Amino acid sequence: MEETKVVLTEKEMPKQWYNIMADMPNPPAPPLHPGTRQPVGPDDLSPIFPMSLIMQEVSTERWIDIPEEVMQVYSLWRPSPLYRARRLEKALGTPAKIYYKHEGLNPTGSHKPNTSVPQAYYNKQAGIKRIATETGAGQWGSAMSFAGAFFGLDVTVYMVKVSYNQKPYRRIAMETWGGKVFASPSENTNTGRAALAANPDNPGSLGLAISEAVEDAATHSDTNYALGSVLNHVCHHQTIIGLEAMEQFKKIGEYPDVIFAACGGGSNLAGVSFPFMRDKINGRDIRIVAVEPTSCPTLTKGEFRYDFGDTAQMTPLMMMYTLGHNFIPPGDHAGGLRYHADSPIICQLYKDGLIDAIAYPQTKIFDAAMTFARTEGIIPAPESSHAIKGAIDEALKAKEEGKEKTIFFNLSGHGIFDLAAYDEYNNGRMKDTVFDPEAMKVALAELPVI
Amino acid sequence: MEETKVVLTEKEMPKQWYNIMADMPNPPAPPLHPGTRQPVGPDDLSPIFPMSLIMQEVSTERWIDIPEEVMQVYSLWRPSPLYRARRLEKALGTPAKIYYKHEGLNPTGSHKPNTSVPQAYYNKQAGIKRIATETGAGQWGSAMSFAGAFFGLDVTVYMVKVSYNQKPYRRIAMETWGGKVFASPSENTNTGRAALAANPDNPGSLGLAISEAVEDAATHSDTNYALGSVLNHVCHHQTIIGLEAMEQFKKIGEYPDVIFAACGGGSNLAGVSFPFMRDKINGRDIRIVAVEPTSCPTLTKGEFRYDFGDTAQMTPLMMMYTLGHNFIPPGDHAGGLRYHADSPIICQLYKDGLIDAIAYPQTKIFDAAMTFARTEGIIPAPESSHAIKGAIDEALKAKEEGKEKTIFFNLSGHGIFDLAAYDEYNNGRMKDTVFDPEAMKVALAELPVI
């Protein structure tokens, strides 16, 4: 019988995360303080992050030891299998080999716990009692609530009000893991109260929810803040995906020619590709492709400049490809990819030509998702389906050219929480949304010139 | 690091299912034709089942080869890991070791594809083009739609109308895998049309949906029927769970003292326990416990006698512990356990004292589910939580007695489709339902005396 999965034992799980800062030809420009516009130092971050994570944020050491307690929680679902997509290959009639890493096999259904678990651990070690964080559709809030349960850490989640009302399942999952979930804007914070005073029906936004979580953390000494993407330490934690994949490819004597990953804030792309990027920097011939929605085309259409991470301008300024923090992307179903910029590391690598980027409209993404669901059996998350679409197009190109090729992508999560989007697609009600370059220009014009 | 999971490679996956009919001290009484009351022969079943499955249904051969094509689909998620529930043990402070098999790691989230996949395969082999089946909450309909996709088989699902309207997510999942889902009663069948004529607002029932599916299959020569539990061949297919577990226990030099499994129709209990039951029949000291809801206490309160499998009296009469096919259990959240009887094999083994049975009310089940979610991280299905409750109580008893003990249970699925039930529980709105022994007496009085 032909094998479908390459598995590793827990003993074979990598014991260190990889920090690409040690190998980048050009390091990212330093983040700047939102007030002084001077480079941010560790002390600026200490009111909301533990020093251990701040040190990881600025570290240039290549390897970071994964604490034993984190390994023990990882072992609940890691190492994750590397799949050979034999049924998909057959359906496409391609000579290419398609592999994917399946990060949807943990109880939260996405790759996010790879970083929520160590973040919970380091905060607990630092004596922190509670984490405040935000969530849009609920994926990150789920991962943080899940992680909090293992370390006896309280978790407060500010969930964008419109999602809180429309997506009760994610809220219930967070509560089942012990998270306290508030519709944002809430009565808990000055930011929230002011927003409600101005408009009691304010539907909320991710920017507002971030501001509430940061305020909550900054004003309570026993409470810290946690972020699910963009930051360096988040990218480091996610490299467990790519490090495992390297071991798995080694086991079968293969190496990918090209890697596809969806890119929202960038931690998913970072996680699966950075260990391979190290080889690329050292001369190996491999293509690494970020796939984004045409409705929020940060890498393919954004400008490379300093911008804030949030709409409220509370975070440091970071050097990123950005559409402007006031740009509001259309309401596509891949909510995890609706961020106005990307991780500064990812942006620098893209700038240096080490990452390629492509963009697709959402109906094309769901065409690919459907092909995948009916061949591989897994209903993929809309975000992950961007990587699937990239891989399918590459496999069809290989077929045209009659080339054998090894294609690898990250299935960052399953789509069981996204079935309403599939219903729209199945019934022909899904439409492609349109990116408005004028709106981007307006948003970019509002940025400080640095 | 202490290992959490015992994993098998695909090469180590069992290549045969186990048929307990070869080893039972007393075989189950033969099923009887609903009209003639004579033992049913293969020809009676051939209008709705392929001969290969009918032969498995009546076989007394100990081992049944798993076809290569089925193994290939199984490999998408099998072998499933055997978990050591270290965090749960610690939380309970028990000297007992608790192990569980995790059957929720496939895209449908339950153990059902272990039999839907071979059923789809054998029907395809027999030249069948379409499967008609019923589903209550949607678990079996999902598994059948999923399986149909791999073998190019059309799947028609009659979904109880009240669930169709209340649980759109399961319907959408079925449709995404290619299933055609109809609210039952439907306009497709005489049974459905008659029900709608009598009452256009008929909310449907599992009994009615079975009748529609059987009629659809019986009246179309290219269409067969498929059932997700109760029947012998379904129990055989599910033994892949227990066979893998035996290999996994062997790897770590352990053997369970007691096994817990939820029991609805019985295939889950059969699947995890029958390979161990063989050892028990041969003299090994092991306890096998069926866990059921107090609201539908088939083994603990039912009568052992001939009854129909469905409310419409279309199926053969089977010798079972039954509450009467007209008994309507309260609307507990563990929909998969709301069946009026159990697999004839399970019932015979219970009659012979080889299986124990216990029953719990649903709030106790959810207490256990919550403990599990916050220690092991997995939100379990309400059905599976019956096994968890049994295991937790056993572990606490072991603690009281200061006994080391090896406890094993089957986690038959995750609870992501059941979050509405968790919301009820989390908000203190969940109530225990009450079993009505008088209603059972009435239902039993209506049964034919055979």
User: What is the radius of gyration, based on Cα positions, of chain A?
Assistant: 21
Residue of B nearest to A106 (CA): B378
- Give yes or no for B377 touching A (CB within 8 A): yes
HEC profile of chain B: CCCCEECCCHHHCCCEEECHHHCCCCCCCCCECCCCCCECCHHHHCCCCCHHHHHHHHCCCCEEECCHHHHHHHCCCCCCCEEECHHHHHHHCCCCEEEEEECCCCCCCECCHHHHHHHHHHHHHCCCCEEEEEECCCHHHHHHHHHHHHHCCEEEEEEEHHHHHHCHHHHHHHHHCCCEEEEECCCCCHHHHHHHHHCCCCCCCHHHHHHHHHHHHHCCCCEEECCCCCCHHHHHHHCHHHHHHHHHHHHCCCCCCEEEEECCCCHHHHHHHHHHHHHHHCCCCCEEEEEEECCCCHHHHCEEEEEECCCCCCCCEEEEEECCCCCCCCCCCCHHHCCCCCCHHHHHHHHCCCCEEEEECHHHHHHHHHHHHHHCCCCECHHHHHHHHHHHHHHHHHHHHCCCCEEEEEECEECHHHHHHHHHHHCCCCCCCCCCHHHHHHHHHCCCCC
- Whether A196 and chain B come into contact, CB under 8 Å, resolves to no
- Contact list in A for residue B150 (CB cut-off 8 A) is 87, 377
**Mean pLDDT score of chain A, rounded to an integer?**
96
Q: Is A358 helix (H, G, I), strand (E, B) or coil?
A: strand
Is A5 in CB contact (< 8 Å) with chain B? yes
Cβ atoms within 10 A of the Cβ of A281, count? Answer: 15
Whether residue B27 has pLDDT greater than 90: yes
Q: Is the minimum CB–CB distance between B138 and chain A shorter than 8 Å?
A: no
- From chain A, pick out residues whose CB is under 8 angstroms from the CB of B68: 1
Per the listing, tokens 């220009």 go with: A441
- State how far residue B172 is from chain A, nearest Cα, in angstroms: 6
Tell me the chain B residues in contact with residue A1 when contact means C-beta distances shorter than 8 Å.
Answer: 10, 68, 71-72, 75
Quick one: pLDDT band at residue B312, thresholds 50, 70, 90? confident
Whether B139 has a pLDDT exceeding 90, the answer reads yes
**ipTM of the complex, rounded to two decimals:** 0.96
Q: Are A301 and A286 in contact (CB under 8 A)?
A: no
Residue with tokens 């935000």: A134
Query: What is the rounded CA–CA span in Å between residue B212 and residue B194?
Result: 11
Tens-digit pLDDT profile for residues A82-127: 999 999 999 999 999 999 999 999 999 999 999 999 999 999 999 9
Give tens-digit pLDDT for A169-226.
999 999 999 999 999 999 999 999 999 999 999 988 888 898 899 999 999 999 999 9
* Contact check, Cβ <8 Å, B377/A150: yes
Sign of CA dihedral B139, B145, B146, B151: positive
Residue of chain A minimizing CA distance to B75: A4
Beta-carbon separation of B377 and A177 below 8 A:
yes
List phi, psi (to 5°) of B260: -115, 135
Give the CA radius of gyration of chain B. Answer: 21
In A128-237, the DSSP E strands lie at 130-135, 154-160, 180-184, 223-225
Does A204 reside within a domain? no
What strands lie across the sheet with B180-184, from one edge to the other? Answer: B180-184, B154-160, B130-135, B223-225
What lies within 8 Å, CB to CB, of B317 at 6+ separation is B31, B32, B33, B34, B37, B306, B307, B308, B448, B450
In a domain, B171, yes or no: no
Please tell me the pTM assigned to this model: 0.97
- A395 contact partners, CB below 8 Å, separation of at least 6: A88, A89, A92, A94, A96, A98, A405, A407
Nearest to A7 among B7, B146, B176 (CB): B7
Q: Return d(Cα B321, Cα B336) in angstroms, integer.
A: 17
* pLDDT interval class at A231 (50, 70, 90): very high
Domain presence at residue B396? yes
Distance between CA B87 and CA A107 in Å, rounded? 15
Q: Report the interhelical angle of B344-351 vs B267-281 (nearest 10°).
A: 40
SS3 A144: helix
What tens digit of pLDDT does each residue of B250-266 get?
999 999 999 999 999 99
Asked, for residue B127, whether it belongs to a domain, the answer is: no
Residue B296 · residue B329 · CB < 8 Å: yes
Dist CA B63 CA B60 (whole Å): 9
Tell which A residues from 151 to 180 touch B, by Cβ distance under 8 Å. 168-169, 172-173, 175-178
Domain extent at residue B265: 68-109+233-445
Count Cβ–Cβ pairs < 8 Å, chain A vs chain B.
Answer: 130
Chain-chain contact of A76 with B176 (C-beta, under 8 angstroms): no
A120-163 pLDDT, tens per residue?
A: 999 999 999 999 999 988 999 999 999 999 999 999 999 999 88
Chain B residue numbers with beta carbons less than 8 Å from the beta carbon of A169 are 416, 419-420
CB proximity B442 to A under 8 Å? no
For residue A33, what pLDDT is reported?
Answer: 95
Residue B48 located in a structural domain: no
Rounded Cα–Cα distance for residues B401 and B390 (Å): 17
d(CA A333, CA A382): 6
Q: Would you call B419 and A168 a contact, using CB atoms and an 8 Å cutoff? A: yes
What does the pLDDT read at residue A332? 85
Quick check: A75 and B4 CB within 8 A? yes
Torsion angle, alpha carbons of A1, B149, A334, A157, to 10: -80
Q: What is the pLDDT of residues B51-107, one digit of tens each?
A: 999 999 999 999 999 999 999 999 999 999 999 999 999 999 999 999 999 999 999
User: What pLDDT is stored for residue B205 in this prediction?
Assistant: 86
| A103 contacts on B by Cβ (under 8 Å) | none
Contact B4 A72 (CB under 8 A): yes
pLDDT at A351 over 90: yes
At B383, which CATH number? 3.40.50.1100
* 8 A C-beta contact, residue A206 and residue A228: no
* Domain-located, residue B46: no
Hey, of A172, A244, A252, A411, which one would you mutate to test binding to chain B, going by the most B CBs within 10 A of its CB? Answer: A172
With an 8 Å Cβ cutoff, are B3 and A75 in contact?
Answer: yes
pLDDT band for B310, please (50, 70, 90 cuts): confident
- Is there a domain that residue A411 lies in? yes
Task: Compute the distance between CA of residue A78 and CA of residue A248 in angstroms, rounded to an integer.
Answer: 13
- B154-160 and B258-262 strand pairing: unpaired
* Owner of token pair 């590793």: A8
Contact A416 B150 (CB under 8 A): no
Q: What is the band of A61 on the pLDDT scale with cuts at 50, 70, 90?
A: very high
Outline where DSSP puts E strands in A276-355: 287-293, 303-308, 317-322
Cβ-based contacts of A178 with chain B (< 8 Å): 374
Is the pLDDT assigned to residue A321 strictly greater than 90? yes
CB neighbours of B161 closer than 8 A, spacing ≥ 6? B183, B184, B185, B202, B203, B204
Query: How far lies A289's CA from each of A246, A321, A356, A385, in Å?
Result: 17, 16, 5, 14
Between residues 55 and 74 of chain B, which touch chain A (CB distance below 8 Å)? 68, 71-73
Is the pLDDT assigned to residue B314 strictly greater than 90?
A: no
Strand-pair partners of A306: A319
Residue A185 covered by a domain: no
Q: Return the amino acid letter for B388.
A: I
Domain count, chain B: 1
